[in-house]
């Protein structure tokens, strides 16, 4: 059994396995090197060979327990024929959403468009370096994807009142998305993903009154589906105020916490396996501080299954030496 599954399934607490969100990315010079020669981000995600190489880059450097596939949550809107572009220093920009066309897309066309992602997973699994490690596949949660698809740019850049003006549209879109998200989960699993993470990066923007329809109910459907495949599922509802309610309603195997929530409160409220929490900005400081902050999380969750990770992705300006220091500290603790 892999170290991460030993923690999730056997509830082992003697070691904390470790991996990082955005462990493959811009903080690595070897990633920037490939990225410079491949300006089109979507195309890069669809190049199975390069995407597999990028997936393995952090494993070649650090003693990590999982590979997370190099892809993006916005590959699903792309698979549903919405235009998706990544503009330098701006982030994603999506084309117009056509709800009529969306309901006419065939499952086969969707699968065909995303097939290079499944090939990349196969390829990654064949590499010896992933032996006894997990390969983490992922999806964006229906709410976060619906938000990008309707808003067409990151909600960091504008107010999202326009999105919440048409609640029926959001609901319809979430329902369509769930159908394709199940297909995307199934295909990732059939091609070698051993764990699925669901990223709800914008769950924290919603008022309580929308949580049931937009977050709890559709996400719990995907969690049930993933569990039926015998695959553990990690949920990351970033910025949500009440993690306890979320866990009760959605029932994931693992809850990834963000860096704004007090881990002592999580420890008191939640008894399932916890992942993450450490503020990625800590990696921009110094070794003493990294050690102190990492120790805090390891000590709080000492008698609870805990997977070490951050409270959001590694920042592009992070020094890889600090990542190496953190991995070794956690592994030897
Ligand atoms: O070189 C570049 O400019 C690309 C930067 C980049 C990378 C490395 C983007 C654009 N996506 C990715 C890969 C990625 N995205 C992974 C790969 C695996 C890994 O973690 O190493 C994963 C899991 C994601 C997931 C993702 N994409 C999320 C959920 C997690 C999160 O960060 O909250 C979201 C919201 C996206 C959208 C997206 N893609 C890229 C960016 C810059 C963004 C965020 C835009 C925004 O702020 O709204």
Please say if the pLDDT value at position 135 is more than 90: yes
Q: Residue 201 CA: which ligand 1 atom is closest? A: 33
Reported as a pLDDT band with limits 50, 70 and 90, residue 103 is confident
Q: Report the Cα 84 to chain-centroid distance in Å.
A: 19
- At 279-315, the pLDDT tens digits run 999 999 999 999 999 999 999 999 999 999 999 999 9
Q: Residue 140 CA: which ligand 1 atom is closest? A: 29
Q: Residue 69 CA: which ligand 1 atom is closest? A: 18
Structural domains in the chain, CATH included, are 3-332 (3.20.20.210)
pLDDT at position 47 is: 98
Cα–Cα distance, 125 to 323 (Å, whole number): 24
Q: Using alpha carbons, select from 321, 331, 256, 257 the residue that is nearest to residue 283.
A: 321
Q: Residue 88 CA: which ligand 1 atom is closest? A: 3
Reported as a pLDDT band with limits 50, 70 and 90, residue 221 is very high
Reported as a pLDDT band with limits 50, 70 and 90, residue 92 is very high
- Side-chain-facing half-sphere of 165: CA atoms under 13 Å: 7
Ligand 1 atom 42: the closest Cα is on which residue?
Answer: 91
Pocket test for ligand 1, best of 60, 67, 73, 141 (most atoms within 8 A of CB): 73
% of the chain residues with pLDDT over 90? 96
Reported as a pLDDT band with limits 50, 70 and 90, residue 223 is very high
- At 144-166, the pLDDT tens digits run 999 999 999 999 988 889 999 99
- Side-chain-facing half-sphere of 233: CA atoms under 13 Å: 28
Cα–Cα distance, 304 to 149 (Å, whole number): 38
CA distances from 160 to 12, 116, 149, 240, 266 (A): 42, 33, 12, 17, 29
Q: Using alpha carbons, select from 256, 193, 255, 196 the residue that is nearest to residue 225.
A: 196
Residues facing residue 92 across a β-bridge: 86
pLDDT at position 158 is: 86
Q: Ligand 1: distance of its center to the CA of 72 in Å? A: 6
Instruction: Give residues (CB < 6 A) around ligand 1.
Output: 21-26, 35, 41, 68, 70-74, 86, 91-92, 138, 154, 156, 199, 201, 313
pLDDT at position 89 is: 87
Cα–Cα distance, 16 to 278 (Å, whole number): 14
Ligand 1 atom 12: the closest Cα is on which residue?
Answer: 72
Ligand 1 atom 17: the closest Cα is on which residue?
Answer: 70
Q: Ligand 1: distance of its center to the CA of 313 in Å? A: 8
Encode burial over 49-62: b for 16+ CB neighbours within 10 A, e otherwise.
Answer: ebbbbbbbbbbeeb
pLDDT at position 263 is: 98
- At 22-74, the pLDDT tens digits run 999 999 999 999 999 999 999 999 999 999 999 999 999 999 999 999 999 99
- Largest Cα span, the chain: 56
What SS3 class is residue 67? strand
Cα–Cα distance, 283 to 294 (Å, whole number): 10
Distance in angstroms between the alpha carbons of the first and the last residue of the chain: 21
Q: Ligand 1: distance of its center to the CA of 198 in Å? A: 13
Residue 209, classified by CB atoms within 10 Å of its CB into exposed (0-12), middle (13-18) or buried (19+), is exposed
Residues 6+ apart with CB under 8 A from 177: 76, 142, 145, 146, 218
Q: Report the Cα 172 to chain-centroid distance in Å.
A: 24
Ligand 1 atom 33: the closest Cα is on which residue?
Answer: 201
Q: Which long-range contacts (CB under 8 A, 24 or more apart) does 292-300 make?
A: 294/326, 294/329, 294/330, 294/333, 295/333, 296/263, 297/263, 298/16, 298/330, 298/333, 300/263, 300/264, 300/267
Q: Report the Cα 260 to chain-centroid distance in Å.
A: 18
The 10 Å Cβ neighbour count of residue 284 is: 14
Pocket test for ligand 1, best of 72, 87, 89, 240 (most atoms within 8 A of CB): 72
Ligand 1 atom 28: the closest Cα is on which residue?
Answer: 73
């Amino acid at each position: 059994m892999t170290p991460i599954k030993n923690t999730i399934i056997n509830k082992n607490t003697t070691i904390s396995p470790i991996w990082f969100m955005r462990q493959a990315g811009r903080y690595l010079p070897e990633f920037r090197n490939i990225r410079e020669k491949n300006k089109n981000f979507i195309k890069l995600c669809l190049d199975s060979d390069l995407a597999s190489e990028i997936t393995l880059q952090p494993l070649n450097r650090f003693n990590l327990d999982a590979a997370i596939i190099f892809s993006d949550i916005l590959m699903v809107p792309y698979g549903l024929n919405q235009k998706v572009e990544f503009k330098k220093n701006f982030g994603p920009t999506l084309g117009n959403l056509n709800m009529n066309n969306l309901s006419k897309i065939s499952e086969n066309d969707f699968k065909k468009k995303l097939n290079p992602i499944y090939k990349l997973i196969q390829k990654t699994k064949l590499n010896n370096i992933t032996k006894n490690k997990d390969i983490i596949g992922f999806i964006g949660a229906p709410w976060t994807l619906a938000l990008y698809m309707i808003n067409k740019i990151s909600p960091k850049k504008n107010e999202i009142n326009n999105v919440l003006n048409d609640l029926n549209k959001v609901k319809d879109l979430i329902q369509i998305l769930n159908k394709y998200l199940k297909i995307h989960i199934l295909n990732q699993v059939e091609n070698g993903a051993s764990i699925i993470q669901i990223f709800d990066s914008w769950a924290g923007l919603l008022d309580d009154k929308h949580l049931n329809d937009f977050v709890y109910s559709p996400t719990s459907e995907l969690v049930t589906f993933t569990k039926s495949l015998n695959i553990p599922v990690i949920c990351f509802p970033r910025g949500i105020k009440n993690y306890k309610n979320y866990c009760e309603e959605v029932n994931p195997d693992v809850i990834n916490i963000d860096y704004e929530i007090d881990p002592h409160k999580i420890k008191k409220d939640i008894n399932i396996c916890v992942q993450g929490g450490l503020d990625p900005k800590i990696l921009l400081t110094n070794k003493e501080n990294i050690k102190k902050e990492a120790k805090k999380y390891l000590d709080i969750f000492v008698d609870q299954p805990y997977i070490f990770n951050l409270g959001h992705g590694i920042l592009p300006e992070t020094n890889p030496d600090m990542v190496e220091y953190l991995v070794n500290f956690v592994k030897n603790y």
